[in-house]
Chains A and B, each alone.
Chain A
Amino acid sequence: MAEITLKNIVKRYGDGYPAVNDVSLEIKDGEFMILVGPSGCGKSTLLRMIVGLEDITSGELRIGGKVVNKVAPRERNLAMVFQNYALYPHLTVFENIAFPLRLAKTPEDEVQRRVKETAELLELTDHLDRKPANLSGGQRQRVAMGRAIVREADAFLFDEPLSNLDAKLRGQMRTEISRLQRRLGVTTVYVTHDQTEAMTLGDRVAVLRKGVLQQVGSPRELYEQPTNLFVAGFIGSPSMNFLPATVDGTVLDTPLGRFDMRDRRKAEAVGDRTVVLVGIRPEHFEDASLVGDDRRERGAVVKARVDVTEWLGNELYAYVPYEAPADVAAQLRDLSQELDSDQLRTQAVVALDASSLISPGDEAELWIDTSRVHLFDPATGENLTRDEERAAALGRLADKEREAQRRAQRAEAEATSDTSDEDEDKGGTETAAG
């Protein structure tokens, strides 16, 4: 087990373009770290430098305290999970897991011990004598994970491991990976372009953009206290709405109407800027007719024409087009493109209670939870209203939760180590019928 430390890491290719630019990141021992960002952000390059597939142009990479910039991949004792998940049809599950050890000429008694421990962790003990053909899809993936675990690597690395699985298996595997990582407590670095995956799996998430690290934090911190426009737009689905606004004290004049954010601290953060971008997440709007008086007072109400609605059962999405000055509209369009989003940037998406009766064409009264509003500098994208104290508190909370979760998982692992998983047999039948 080991911590992985990246210090001022740069990767420059032949054409001089920095694919990774001055990234510093500390991945704690046992931590589940996600690297996320749109394609071309440098996340895979960063992972490959950790593995040793890409040379590091400058900076320092340490694993377990040791500088490994020049160390060959196999000497780094890391396991790329799912790199090799071919299962051999004539070998038993035991041998399918054991073969990396056989290849390393590990003594038989140690092979026995390590494979059995691994199988227990993966709840494959009852299947050790079976052939892969008799396993369900999920079980086969677990055998492949077993092959990585049995090596007793210092860290697990995943490079978009679920991108070629179908949606159902992807969901299952996400749960498996998360559960297993928490039980084993092995340092894990996981690359994905899927922000939902990032938010559900990681202890902390590192968001990258064009090779530059934007923010590292717990999923909740990224969501509540993004450092800039990019992170705010990337994390959350549907994305945060950004409205251009002129500022007059605590009053914002937006295309959806004028409202008072009633927060002196935020107003002060604006400084002498006359225009800002107001960021409001879809769920921080509500149908004003459904908001009680006391809550209503803690926010503001605007009037806007609703273009389209979508009723989803648990909530109602309403789409509210607005006018924006050409330069702001262009900026928002660029951001949207960069985020691979098909969301129209001059249209606000609001998520309302499912009981709302707002319908297309209505001039609707929308309530905004102004305490959750963020203001961004339109030129630099910087979040002017990020609450550092709150961010720190969220960080501490994440650490606490992580510890509690780990303890629970380990206790559960100990308690259930001798009972078998009930879905196994179901899987077997499915295979036979296939």
Chain B
Amino acid sequence: MRFVFKPPAETASGLLSLPWHEPLASWRDERLVEIRHRGLSRHTVRFVAEAGAVYALKELDERLARREYKLLRKLRELGIPAVEVTGIAVDRPGGQDAVLVTRFLDHASSYRALFANPRGGHPADRLLDALVELLVRLHLAGFMWGDCSLSNTLFKLDAGAFSAYLVDTETAELHPSLSEGQRTYDLELARERIAGELFDLDAAGLLPPDLDPVAVADDTVRRYTALWDELTREEIIRPEEQRLRIAERLRRINELGFDVDEVELIDAGGEGSRLRVRTVVAEPGHHRRLLFARTGLNAQENQARRLLNDIASYRGHLERESGRPVSEALAASKWLTEVYDPVVRAIPDDLRGRLDEVEIFYEVLEHRGHLERTLGHDVSTTAAARDHFRHVLPHVPEELTIKPIPRTPPDGERAAGDRPEARARDGGSD
């Protein structure tokens, strides 16, 4: 038996003592956990909690496992949101299949959980925006997904919006670039899969009556086409309007959540110049990197932008108070200890896991604004937090984000048989 782990993998070394020599389906280790609302898989998939992290283990043919390992690493390298691959176990005794180990995304939600527990309006719109953005990033990078769907994606809350993470690359292919046919085919598959998944939600009673699966699926195609066009279209611009038009185009691309890598102007004779824009495939991360440098906090991009704004206004407050300039670094470190940490520490223990801490802090900031507008005067962050923890956070459904739950004993598993998904999974020798 052989393990291939991506360094640094100190945390993963605890996984070495799992019963790798046995078929994954028959493992009985106390570290195994169950995940509710997880997607369907054609392979045996199990989850393990080890040293505070949760790992997804998938048993599949070695060739496919190595391929997926390589592709997931490549996606991370390119800065495309995807699950982090930890390693693979190969050469297991008795000619058993390989096991692919990925780090399970903390505080992520499946589309099923989001539809079952809608907060702040129906999620369909924001989910599809996030999914389309992910698909476009993949296509820009030359990845054909082959199975773009809501079930192959996990969503993380990002200051009220969603970030989509790719979780399954079993069918993905990496090319130097994609042909028109490859993109439209991939998109057509996505359209089909999304419609199927929404039909399924409908049958499960989770879809609002005014939502038409076919209309939503068709709309996904329109969103994709519009985004792709905005990012890649070439236009002819006249010399006198060059500056304005380029600035406009770059601003729109930034607003759509993309960074521009290169702007190319090619002389197009008398009519002007041809503007060609090359977009960065990676998710933009300047806010998130800046926040990390200043505070050590890990956040999604929108969250980071919102927190940096709060730090900036806190800095203004410090300067007004002291009557002299305060450095950004000092402001950030004071903000962390005097604003952020107290809020996070005050989260009641029983509500702590409902959302990730940064998202809770973001919600407190939003709540503060809401209170100030209602009451007509300033409200302290501490007071806003107290109110949020009392009136808002308890209503965040526990099932919204995926959390590992200790495994039910084998006898209890039969009782879980009334959930069709559970049976589909357990019966799956496929």
Interface residues of A (CB under 8 A from B): 13-14, 51-55, 72-74, 83-91, 95, 99-100, 102-103, 105, 131-134, 137, 140-141, 163-166, 169, 430-432, 434
Contacts and interface: CB of A to CB of B under 8 A. Distances in A.
B181 interface: yes
A55 B201 CA distance: 37
B60 A434 contact: no
A54 B179 contact: yes
Nearest to A86: B40
Nearest to B63: A163
B195 interface: yes
Contact of B423 (A85, A133, A140): A133
Given A89-B424, A166-B429, A99 B196 contact: yes
B430 A103 contact: no
Given A103-B214, A133-B420, A164-B60, A89 B200 contact: yes
Contacts of A165: 430
B147 interface: yes
A181 B4 CA distance: 42
Chain B interface residue bracket vs A = 35 or more
B188 A87 contact: no
Contacts of B64: 163-164
A134 B42 CA distance: 15
A431 B427 contact: yes
9 contacts: A53-B181, A83-B146, A89-B200, A89-B424, A99-B195, A100-B192, A133-B420, A133-B424, A140-B430
Interface string B116-128: 0000000000000
Given A53-B185, A84-B192, 7 more contacts: A54-B182, A55-B179, A74-B185, A84-B147, A88-B196, A88-B200, A90-B203
Contact of B196 (A51, A86, A105, A134): A86
A87 B424 contact: yes
A88 B428 contact: no
A74 B197 CA distance: 21
Chain A to chain B: the 6 pairs with minimum beta-carbon distance, closest first: A88-B200, A431-B427, A434-B427, A90-B203, A133-B423, A133-B424
B181 A55 contact: yes
A75 to B, nearest CB: 10
Nearest to A88: B200
B189 A84 contact: yes
A432 B429 CA distance: 12
B199 A95 contact: yes
A102 B214 contact: yes
Contact of A91 (B179, B200, B423): B200
Nearest to B41: A86
Contact of A132 (B151, B189, B217, B424): B424
A343 to B, nearest CB: 20
Contacts of B40: 86-87, 89
A209 to B, nearest CB: 21
Contact of B217 (A53, A103, A134, A432): A103
B323 interface: no
A363 B151 CA distance: 64
A325 to B, nearest CB: 36
A132 B428 CA distance: 11
Interface string B184-219: 110011011101110111011000000000100100
A286 to B, nearest CB: 33
A53 B179 contact: yes
Contacts of A55: 179-181
A88 B199 contact: yes
Contacts of B184: 72-74
Contacts of B200: 88-91
A315 B429 CA distance: 34
Nearest to B204: A90
B40 to A, nearest CB: 6
Contacts of B60: 164
A85 B171 CA distance: 12
Nearest to A132: B424
A14 B175 CA distance: 11
A377 B179 CA distance: 41
Contact of A95 (B176, B203, B204): B203
A55 B181 CA distance: 7
B106 interface: no
Q: Which of A51, A89, A169 has the most CB of B within 10 A?
A: A89
Contacts of B429: 137, 166, 169, 434
Q: Which of A14, A83, A85 has the most CB of B within 10 A?
A: A83
Contacts of B191: 103
B193 A137 contact: no
Interface in B404-430: 420-421, 423-424, 426-430
B149 interface: yes
B197 to A, nearest CB: 7
A88 B420 CA distance: 10
Nearest to B417: A432
Interface in B57-82: 60-61, 63-64
A85 B149 CA distance: 12
A434 B429 CA distance: 8
A379 to B, nearest CB: 35
